[in-house]
């Protein structure tokens, strides 16, 4: 299976996992010229911008460790654009999460990183 197909399958698994946890998936693979957000979901009224990372094993490191500062900035800028495009209110609660998949084990890291403002 090629990398893209594996990514799609794991994002599908992450979306199903979120639904079972009571979250509502609002958007999948939101793209802008700034970047992409794998899943946008609502978790008890909080809008969550979620990055999905998968590894077969931890030999090359944990999946969540792959969401470095550069990726976090990209997600924050894309989230800004999503909020503007969807006309979401400033007082809306937002969160940046990571879903880590190792083999078939799924872990949801809520508040994985904080919003990074423009410099």
Chain segment 18-75, per-residue pLDDT in tens: 999 999 999 999 999 999 999 999 999 999 999 999 988 787 778 888 899 999 999 9
Chain segment 65-117, per-residue pLDDT in tens: 889 999 999 999 999 999 999 999 989 999 999 999 998 899 999 999 999 99
Is 14 inside a domain boundary?
yes
Tokens of 24: 């509502």
- CA 82, chain centre distance (Å): 13
Give the chain's domain count.
1
Half-sphere exposure of 33 (CA within 13 A, CB side): 0
Predicted TM-score (pTM) of the model is: 0.93
| Domain enclosing residue 101, as ranges | 3-113
Asked whether the CA dihedral 98, 43, 76, 29 is positive or negative, the reply is positive
CB 42 within 8 A of CB 94: no
Is 66 inside a domain boundary?
yes
Is 118 inside a domain boundary?
no
CB 107 within 8 A of CB 15: no
Is 56 inside a domain boundary?
yes
Is 119 inside a domain boundary?
no
CA distance 74 to 72: 5
Tokens of 113: 């990183």
Q: What is the CATH number of the domain that holds 48?
A: 3.40.1350.10
Is 96 inside a domain boundary?
yes
């Amino acid at each position: 299976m090629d990398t893209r197909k594996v990514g799609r399958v794991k994002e599908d698994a992450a979306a199903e996992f979120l639904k079972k946890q009571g979250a509502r998936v609002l958007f999948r693979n939101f793209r802008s010229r700034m970047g992409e957000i794998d899943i946008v979901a609502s978790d008890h009224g909080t809008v969550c911008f979620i990055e999905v990372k998968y590894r077969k094993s931890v030999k090359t490191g944990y999946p969540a460790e792959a969401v470095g500062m550069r990726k976090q900035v990209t997600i924050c800028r894309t989230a800004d654009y999503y909020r503007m495009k969807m006309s979401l209110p400033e007082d809306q609660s937002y969160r940046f999460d990571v879903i880590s998949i190792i083999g078939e084990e799924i872990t949801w890291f809520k508040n994985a990183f904080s919003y990074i403002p423009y410099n």
